[in-house]
Structure 1
């Protein structure tokens, strides 16, 4: 008997789960309320410009995500550095670099840290000692989960300057939280996996094409080739366990997609019956959608898990001002900068020589509600201060993207609010970067969660009258 699987949500977790189930021989239907796949790691068209909803990077240690790209047939669309090399810019200062050497971890970053000018010379040995101590933290322990990363850094001799210019340089981008607000367990996970255990693990990568080409276009092709019925612009209204399986009530949304077809949620509300459900939706949606008793979690768990925003500032200059593919900044409102000229279609829209720079601002609670004009007034001088050529360049376009709920809040104590893939209801599993993946909210965590939820779904017996048979 062919197992019928319904996947709710078309972000990376949902796509990974659907592919894993289809590859195992299941008959899979995937519903996504938006017109496109990819979730917060997608892109959209702004006139003739391709705009990513957020600037996502990949590390060499993100093995599940890289294998996912292989499965989609687009691994060659992502660049990985041969060796971790991050230019760090600051107003009025010579550029610094965080570049690894070929020594075994954690020695591979020792020389770079000892020469890293933004951290005072007297603090640099303390940074190295703290890094070694962080490598000994057990990220799975309740004590590490309950403790704040900022508190731990202070206890290990880290000055406010070292936190601001080094620990937060990495931590804000990967955790979407400042050290003062972050869980030690999640911080230890990031630094151990990316920087402290394997020499090449932290080598940085990024997409050379719009993210939608990977996580929407290529994902659609792979899903449909695997026999998955992909239904975008289709919102799942309810899930109910019945005598013949899980009943899924679906209604169309008003979004459209250039590739939408007859199976994409057009028409009225319908009910579909499947044997297994993989829920791959955000936590607040899961709390509303999933039947009572799915989780053994405290009341209001989704609100307590919370969310943290990311803001993207997009600037098109009339000339080249950023002389790196990616760079970071300190002592500035600017955090991370990306040259997206080649991937966005800029050259077809703007004059020759124009450059499209994106500034990614994580943990942007104080900026996500700021009006466009105020952000322009803040960010253009800040960019000119770290990119001298921007001071004389003409701005051809300026706009902002906002993801108010980009990730869960990586605060202390959140591990108890992140369920594993198996629920208390037979045939129902959950996925999403917010679940208990062992990772913070990253593309790697999302893919891992989808694969774990699919494996758990296929391993469980079928549902009949709400019980296993």
Structure 2
């Protein structure tokens, strides 16, 4: 249910509504919505968060599986963050989860080539940028000496690009790499190795602006910017249990299992939610509404005239991620994770301890497959036939191990598609509807669709709302710099 935000309500009350009255309602319980709700509540705004699912966490969640290997708590997908993800770092601190998702002391990514069986490592030193990567690039076995030199030159050229330049958004990353002298092997072994995992797109499908942001910020902003962190507990522990506890302490009223079907204004100019036949009464009308939902849902909920070009949201495409889960009867991997080359396998993580696999119960590996257009509709049995032989090729111990469990999780719309031209489509947090704001990793944060981008979008929405309320507490709570000291 939508109304024209420019039209007054009954008796003209909407035209004179006081934005400081009526509190706030946040629709969507992912990282963007949780962040917006916490920031609003921390500033003293009475806030209600509404989520259609029975849990919080959005697309970074966990579920329980009765596996032949025993009960498991499974993440729908493997999510990592970097030291440069200062907003997500703030989020972890805010919910009390920093120690449960620690960062590496220093960047160290094992990279295994299935064709040659050679193991390379992408590491950093404590030297200043760009020398912090000089040693690892000089010895990286998956590139020739000439390719390493050209890669170093390309990295320096990337550092000179401005991701905010609109001209970069119209170009694809692969074309730029080719002009920078990068061979197909360099793209596979270096640029796509990082880019596919962070952008959810290969270089030929990725906006140069977003690629420049990823590489400039992650690899070329500070020595420790790309140090990798990941949850040592199920994502649900962080994004549902701890987040819900933090929201409760902040005074946010959380309503799960409540589907929002429309947004309209009442006689006092406040925004009210149409929750259809969902159980329980809808939240009280609010002066501020934050829509922290996927772009197609936001487009359906926004009042007429809220965006100058509502077709922009429909033009933002999505990209899939597939995760393959394998439980072996014995350990087959001696390190916490690795990236693969020359194989359909992309990244492999040991998730046994986090998932609650019983000691002596074998080993649980999760394969994270980004830009998974070719796999998203493939039956699990066919994916088993494809990926188990590849794991045996990469990990000799897997050749004699027995598979105790195999299953697949899929997110068809895992992220927005970071194609050239997408930046001009991504909307800002504010809309033309007074008191209505947008949040979500698909909004105009400048970041790709990551947990970092989601948190930044939630803050941006709260910042805009608090500014309209005349509240002084809307500044970003995290620093703009990147900590380079080792985590304790």
TM-score when normalising by structure 2: 0.89
Deviation at 1:2, TM superposition (A): 5.6
2:98 aligned with 1:79, yes or no?
no
1:394-415 Cα offsets, whole Å, 9 max, x none, are 1010000000000000000011
Deviation at 1:151, TM superposition (A): 0.4
Map 1:359-398; keep pairs closer than 5 Å. Answer: 359-398=367-406
1:152-198 Cα offsets, whole Å, 9 max, x none, are 00000000111011100000000000001000000000001100110
Counterparts of 1:452 and 1:387, CA distance in 2 = 44
User: How many residues of Structure 1 are paired with residues of Structure 2 in the alignment?
Assistant: 445
Deviation at 1:298, TM superposition (A): 5.5
Counterparts of 2:393 and 2:108, CA distance in 1 = 22
2:322 aligned with 1:314, yes or no?
no
Aligned residue for 2:418, secondary structure, equals coil
Choose from 170, 173, 177 the match for 2:194: 170
Deviation at 1:455, TM superposition (A): 1.4
The residue aligned with 1:444 is 452
The residue aligned with 1:430 is 438
Counterparts of 1:18 and 1:408, CA distance in 2 = 23
Deviation at 1:460, TM superposition (A): 1.4
Deviation at 1:292, TM superposition (A): 1.5
1:363-413 Cα offsets, whole Å, 9 max, x none, are 001101000010000000111111111111110100000000000000000
Unpaired runs of at least 5, structure 2: 1-19, 471-488
Distance 1:271 1:68, change over 3 A: closer
Deviation at 1:280, TM superposition (A): 0.3
Map 1:95-134; keep pairs closer than 5 Å. Answer: 95-134=119-158
The residue aligned with 2:366 is 358
CA contact (8 A) 1:233 1:252 kept: no
CA contact (8 A) 2:22 2:285 kept: no
The residue aligned with 1:341 is 352
Aligned residue for 1:274, secondary structure, equals coil
2:158 aligned with 1:150, yes or no?
no
The residue aligned with 1:454 is 462
CA contact (8 A) 1:49 1:344 kept: yes
Map 1:195-206; keep pairs closer than 5 Å. Answer: 195-206=219-230
Deviation at 1:461, TM superposition (A): 5.0
Counterparts of 1:123 and 1:234, CA distance in 2 = 54
Task: Please provide the CA RMSD for this pair.
Answer: 1.4
2:273 aligned with 1:248, yes or no?
yes
Counterparts of 2:27 and 2:361, CA distance in 1 = 44
2:49 aligned with 1:49, yes or no?
no
The residue aligned with 1:31 is 50
1:313-362 Cα offsets, whole Å, 9 max, x none, are 00001111111112100101110111101100111xxx715110000000
Counterparts of 2:283 and 2:84, CA distance in 1 = 41
CA contact (8 A) 1:2 1:26 kept: no
The residue aligned with 1:465 is none
Choose from 280, 298, 308 the match for 1:296: 308
The residue aligned with 1:328 is 339
The residue aligned with 2:7 is none
Aligned residue for 1:231, secondary structure, equals strand
Unpaired runs of at least 5, structure 1: 254-265, 463-469
The residue aligned with 2:479 is none
Deviation at 1:252, TM superposition (A): 5.9
2:412 aligned with 1:409, yes or no?
no
1:28-71 Cα offsets, whole Å, 9 max, x none, are 11111111100011111112210111110010011111111111
Counterparts of 2:283 and 2:27, CA distance in 1 = 14
Aligned residue for 1:333, secondary structure, equals coil
Counterparts of 1:234 and 1:159, CA distance in 2 = 51
Counterparts of 1:73 and 1:251, CA distance in 2 = 35
Deviation at 1:107, TM superposition (A): 1.4
CA contact (8 A) 1:37 1:216 kept: yes
Deviation at 1:119, TM superposition (A): 1.7
Counterparts of 2:276 and 2:48, CA distance in 1 = 14
1:190-228 Cα offsets, whole Å, 9 max, x none, are 001100110000000000000000000001111111111
Choose from 17, 23, 26 the match for 1:4: 23
Counterparts of 1:384 and 1:11, CA distance in 2 = 36
Deviation at 1:270, TM superposition (A): 3.6
CA contact (8 A) 2:21 2:287 kept: no
Map 1:175-254; keep pairs closer than 5 Å. Answer: 175-244=199-268, 245-251=270-276
Counterparts of 1:416 and 1:342, CA distance in 2 = 42
CA contact (8 A) 2:64 2:72 kept: yes
Distance 1:247 1:298, change over 3 A: closer
1:265-306 Cα offsets, whole Å, 9 max, x none, are x34x6463111001100001111111121112362x233210
Counterparts of 1:19 and 1:169, CA distance in 2 = 35
Counterparts of 2:404 and 2:112, CA distance in 1 = 23
CA contact (8 A) 1:234 1:251 kept: no
CA contact (8 A) 1:2 1:25 kept: no
1:406-444 Cα offsets, whole Å, 9 max, x none, are 000000001111011111111001110000011111101
Counterparts of 1:106 and 1:288, CA distance in 2 = 46
